[in-house]
Chain A
Amino acid sequence: QSVLTQPPSASGTPGQRVTISCSRSVSNIGTDYVYWYQQLPGTAPKLLIYRINQRPSGVPDRFSGSKSGTSASLAISGLRSEDEADYYCAAWDDSLSGWVFGGGTKLTVL
């Protein structure tokens, strides 16, 4: 069981806005800096959001991140069929001196 909890699934129709949450269960995980990855089927993960709400170059502004208390969220607006993928949150674990990932959320575009 991951220390970062995500819903296992989410769905939406084209054009809709979908949000995926990520909540921490232990205090040593910093949600001050939360990162989001997108993993398309059969491919390596791709960094989508860093430091809560920053996008690497090339990531559309349809993707945004936010934080509230001990939870972080990824929002995808103007949903497209190509957004159908698995999404993972990640954070640095001070006690582990390493990275922890959420369990992942499978996004289905209906």
Chain B
Amino acid sequence: QVQLVQSGAEVKKPGASVKVSCKASGYTFTSYGINWVRQAPGQGLEWMGRISATNGNTNYGQKVQGRVTMTTDTSTNTAYMELRSLRSDDTAVYYCARDGAPYTSAWPPEDWGQGTLVTVSS
């Protein structure tokens, strides 16, 4: 079965960077894209961006554009999301989520990781 296992919770100071990992199993990693979605405490879902594990192409959301980098390591079936210049309003649970269909970004995320809490506090 498809599994996405994310790295553990992080506490960071404002201005620092965080890198969250998402290890995939149970499917052909390079056939699907990985989306990153975050959820601030008590708030809704915000799509941050997507990386194609097929060719590494990325699309980033406007709110994090310029501060975020999404990468994949096909040798370990792991996706990464790095967010720089952290601010207090970046405090959120960060989810990785696999596209619902292969080789297309037009199918919404269907399989999700367990989430990683990133807390930004001085």
Contacts and interface: CB of A to CB of B under 8 A. Distances in A.
> Are A and B subunits of one complex?
yes
Interface of A: 2, 35, 37, 39, 44-47, 50, 56, 86, 88, 90, 92, 96-104
B44 A103 contact: yes
B31 interface: no
B45 A104 contact: yes
A44 B61 contact: no
B95 A44 contact: yes
Contacts, number: 59
B118 to A, nearest CB: 15
B112 A97 contact: no
B35 interface: yes
A39 B61 CA distance: 22
Contact of A98 (B45, B47, B100, B113): B47
A50 B108 contact: yes
Interface string B30-63: 0000010100000011110110000000011110
B47 A45 contact: no
B112 A98 contact: no
Q: Give the one of B59, B95, B108, B112 with max A CB within 10 A.
A: B108
